[in-house]
Amino acid sequence: MPVRVKPGTTERIQTTWFAWGSSGVLLSPTWIRIALTREPIDASLFGNDGWDGSGEFRYGEIQDHWFAWDGRPPPPPLNMSCAFNTLILAFGGINLFNPAVDVCIDDCKKWFGPDEFCDMNTCTCKKKELSCTDNTDSFWFFGGSKWKPGMVCKDDCPKDYKCAADCICDPIKKKQHTECRNGRCVVVNGPGPDECKRNRDCQRTKCSNGECTLINEKGKDECTWYGDCRSSKCTEGECEWFNRPGKWECVLDRQCWHYECDEMKCDKRVNEPGKDKCEEDKDCYHKECVNGKCIKVAGKDDNKCETDNECAQRPITPRCGDGYLSTPTTPGGGDEECDPNTGPYNNWTGAKKYPCPEGKVCVDCKCITPEEGYHKECVEGVCIDVAGEGEDVCLTDSACYYYKCVGTECKKINEPGEDSCSSDTDCYHMECVDKACIRVAGKSDSTCQTDNDCKECTSGEYPTSSECSTQCDRTCLINEATSCYFCPSCEDLDMYGTESDCESKKPCNRPDYCVKSTSSSSKNCWYCQGVTCGGSDYPYKDSNCDGNCDSGKGEVCVEYGDSGCYGCKCPDLVVSSRKVSISFSESIDCGGEVCMMECIRAGYIQLKIGNFGKAAAGSSNAHVVLSPSEETWDKSIEALSPGQSSSEKTIDLANSYNGEGSSCETLSWWWSAPTYTVTFTADYGNAVTECDENNNEETSHK
C-alpha cells in the first residue's frame, strides 16, 4: 500500500526481495513505486528552482510527492515499460506513470504482437483502433478493407451512417415505401408494402369513345391502342365501324364481299365475306375440243387444247400455211404435202402456195381426196370443219369476217370479205357545223379539232378564256354573238379609265367620291362611290356630329373616308388572338437516403389585343391569369387604330427545380392534373373607355 508522509518528515520501508537503486526497483509492484525514491539526487541540480539544498534523497527514503510536496523539485523522470505497466494494471495495480515527467517506452508490439500500440498518455498497451471512415474509403477506393477479426473498430462514421460489424460505414435506412398518388409513384416515409416501382404502375388504359386513353388510376389495362376500343361488322357488302370493344370482322369494304363466276365471266359480286372464287374470266372456264374446234367450256379445269390445230382429226404441222413446204427436219416444221400460203406467217419473201396434185385438195397441209375427208366453211365469222366433199372456203377464222365503215364507226362483218377500215378514225372526219366541231361520215381532211376551232372571232377576241387572260389584267367577258372572249374596257363595265373622267364626265360630288377599283373583274377602273349621309352609322354632315357623341362611352365624331358624312364612333378592345402551350416533366430518385427530384415546366402564352371599334384606342394593359398555379402577368398594349391588332405579346412559362424532395406538388408553379385555365383580359384597369366594356375577357381551357 502507498506510504503517506507529512511535509517535512520522512519514512523508511524495507523490501526483502529487491535491491535499492537496481533495475529491480523499476519492476517492483506499483505500491512500492509510489513509496520509493529512484536514485540519489544531487541537490545542486535543483538550486535554481528554490530548493535550499538541505537533506538528501537516499535509496529507500520515502517521500509522497503528491501529498507531501513542499515546494521542492520533483525527482528525475522514470523510464517506464509500457508492456509491464499494462500487466501491473491487469493484475489490479495502480498506474504509476506521470505523463508530465515520466518517459514511456513503447514495447507493446515486442511483447503483445503487431496489432498493439502504446498509449503515451497512460503508458499502457492497447489494441490498434481502425477508423471506420478510413476503412470505408480503403474498401471502396484503395483496394479493400484493412479490418481483421479481433481488431478494434472506431465508429467515426458521418451522421445518418453506422459502423457495421465489418468496420464499414453503412447508410442508416429509414423505413419507406411507395404509393400511387395522382398517377405518379412517390416515396413515402414509414413502413408499408410498395405499391409501385414506376409512374406507369399507377396508371391504366381505358376505352372511351373508341379511343385508348391513359388515366391516373391503378389497375389492369383495357387496351394497348385504339383498335382495342373499336369493332367492325360487314353489312350488305360494307364495313361498318363501331366505337366499342369487340371483334374486327373487317377493315375495308372489300373484305365484305367476294367474286364468283357467272357462267364464264368473273363478275358476280356476292355481298358476304369470303375468298374470291375467281380473279379473272379465265378462272371460270377451260378449253376443250368440240367438233374439231378448241372452244371455252364453263367450269374451272385443265385446258385440253389451246388452238383449233390441236383439235384437228389429223396432225397439222406447226408451219402449215406459212408459204413454205416444210419437212420434219425443218425447224418448227413437219411433214407437209402442200401449203395454201394463207398465214399467219406468210408475208415473208419467197412465200408461195404449194398445191396438191389434180384430184386432191390441201387440208391441213395434207393432200386428200374430197370423198375421203371434209372441208371448211365460214359460220357466223368462225371457220369450222364440215364433213363431206367440197372446197375449203377458209382455213382460219380471219377469213370469215372483215371490217367496214358503218356511219362513223368501223364495224366487224361476219362474212368473208376485204377490210375497208381498221379503226373508227378511218370512217369519219371533223367539220364545223353550227359552230360545233363534230364527226362527219367519210374519210376526208378534218377542218377542226375542237369547238374553239369553229368560232369566228373578230379582232381583239380570243376563242378561249385562257388565251384572253394572258392578254388582259381584268376578267375576260364573252361575246354572245361570236362565243369569243375579249378584254373589256372600263367603259364596257360602265366605269372610267381615269379619275378625272370619273369626276367630270359623270360629276361625282361630295359626299360621293371617285374610287379606283381593285377587283379582278374591273381592275384599275374608276367609279363613283355613292354615299348618303343618314341612317345609324354616319348620319351627320357636321364635323362635331351636332354634339350628340357620348364621351362616357368613349364616342368621338369620325368622318367616313373623305365623304363629308360623320358619325359617333368608339373604340372596342378585345382579345383577338391567344395561344397556350404547357408541358411538364418530372424525375424522382429515392435510391439514396434522401429523395432527389427534378421538376421542369416548359411552355408559353401568346396574345394579341385588337381594336374592333371604329375609333382609335389609346395605350392600355392586358392581364393574364394562369390556374391552378394562380400566376399573373400584365402586358403593355400600344395605341391601336380602328381594326388594328397589337403586336404579339409572349409570356415564357419555363421553370425548373433540381434538389431534395419527393413530390413536385410542393412547388408553387407545378400541378399534376392535365388541365389548366388561362384567363385573358383586354383593357385591364379600364384605361380606355369603350363601346362595350363586357367583351374584354376570353378564356382558354384544357
Q: Tell me the DSSP string of 499-524.
A: HHHHHHTTT--TT-EEEE--STTSTT
Q: Please identify which residue in the block is written with the cell numbers 508530465.
A: 100
Q: Which of 153-157, 510-514, 519-523, 621-625 has the lowest mean pLDDT?
A: 510-514
Q: Which residue has the higher pLDDT, 115 or 670?
A: 670
Residue 267 predicted with pLDDT over 60? yes
Could you check whether the bond before residue 628 is cis, i.e. omega within 30 degrees of 0?
yes
Confidence of residue 94 (pLDDT cuts 50, 70, 90): confident
- Judge contact between 461 and 479, C-beta under 8 A: yes
Residue 15 predicted with pLDDT over 50? no
Look at residue 17 in the predicted model and tell me its pLDDT.
Answer: 34
Q: pLDDT tens for residues 136-187?
A: 888 877 778 888 776 788 888 988 788 888 888 887 766 778 899 888 888 8
In sequence order, the 6+-apart residues with CB closer than 8 A to the CB of 449 are: 430, 437
State the average pLDDT over residues 419-438: 88
Confidence of residue 511 (pLDDT cuts 50, 70, 90): low
> Is residue 328 exposed (0-12), middle (13-18) or buried (19+ Cβ within 10 Å)?
exposed
Q: Give dist(CA 253, CA 45) in Å, integer.
A: 125
Fold assignment, 573-701? Immunoglobulin-like (2.60.40)
Look at residue 204 in the predicted model and tell me its pLDDT.
Answer: 92
State the average pLDDT over residues 681-694: 90
Look at residue 523 in the predicted model and tell me its pLDDT.
Answer: 85
Torsion of CA 522, 523, 525, 531, to 10 degrees: 70
Look at residue 71 in the predicted model and tell me its pLDDT.
Answer: 39
Residue 3 predicted with pLDDT over 60? no
Q: pLDDT tens for residues 370-391?
A: 545 567 788 777 776 666 667 7
Residue 66 predicted with pLDDT over 60? no
Q: pLDDT tens for residues 231-258?
A: 999 988 888 988 889 998 998 888 898 9
In sequence order, the 6+-apart residues with CB closer than 8 A to the CB of 635 are: 607, 621, 622, 624, 649, 651
Residue 639 predicted with pLDDT over 50? yes
Look at residue 388 in the predicted model and tell me its pLDDT.
Answer: 64
Q: pLDDT tens for residues 273-302?
A: 989 889 888 888 888 776 566 778 788 888
In sequence order, the 6+-apart residues with CB closer than 8 A to the CB of 605 are: 578, 579, 580, 624, 626, 633, 650, 651, 653, 678
- Judge contact between 604 and 653, C-beta under 8 A: yes
Look at residue 434 in the predicted model and tell me its pLDDT.
Answer: 82
Q: Which residue has the higher pLDDT, 26 or 586?
A: 586
- Judge contact between 124 and 160, C-beta under 8 A: no
Over pLDDT 90: what percentage of the chain? 16
State the average pLDDT over residues 211-226: 90
Look at residue 120 in the predicted model and tell me its pLDDT.
Answer: 86
In sequence order, the 6+-apart residues with CB closer than 8 A to the CB of 396 are: 321, 342, 343, 344, 383
Confidence of residue 427 (pLDDT cuts 50, 70, 90): very high
Could you check whether the bond before residue 511 is cis, i.e. omega within 30 degrees of 0?
yes
Q: pLDDT tens for residues 553-589?
A: 788 888 877 667 888 888 999 998 999 999 888 888 8
Three-state secondary-structure class, residue 84: helix
Residue 68 predicted with pLDDT over 50? no
State the average pLDDT over residues 630-645: 92
State the average pLDDT over residues 642-670: 91
Confidence of residue 11 (pLDDT cuts 50, 70, 90): very low
Within the chain, all domains assigned CATH 2.60.40.10 are found at 573-701
Look at residue 393 in the predicted model and tell me its pLDDT.
Answer: 82
Look at residue 333 in the predicted model and tell me its pLDDT.
Answer: 67
Look at residue 25 in the predicted model and tell me its pLDDT.
Answer: 39
Q: What angle do CA 561, 563, 566 make, to 5 degrees?
A: 85
What global pTM score does this model have? 0.30
Q: Which of 144-158, 319-333, 441-455 has the lowest mean pLDDT?
A: 319-333
Q: Give dist(CA 139, CA 383) in Å, integer.
A: 106
Look at residue 359 in the predicted model and tell me its pLDDT.
Answer: 66
Q: Which of 11-25, 79-93, 284-298, 679-693 has the lowest mean pLDDT?
A: 11-25
Look at residue 344 in the predicted model and tell me its pLDDT.
Answer: 67
Average pLDDT taken over every residue of the chain: 79
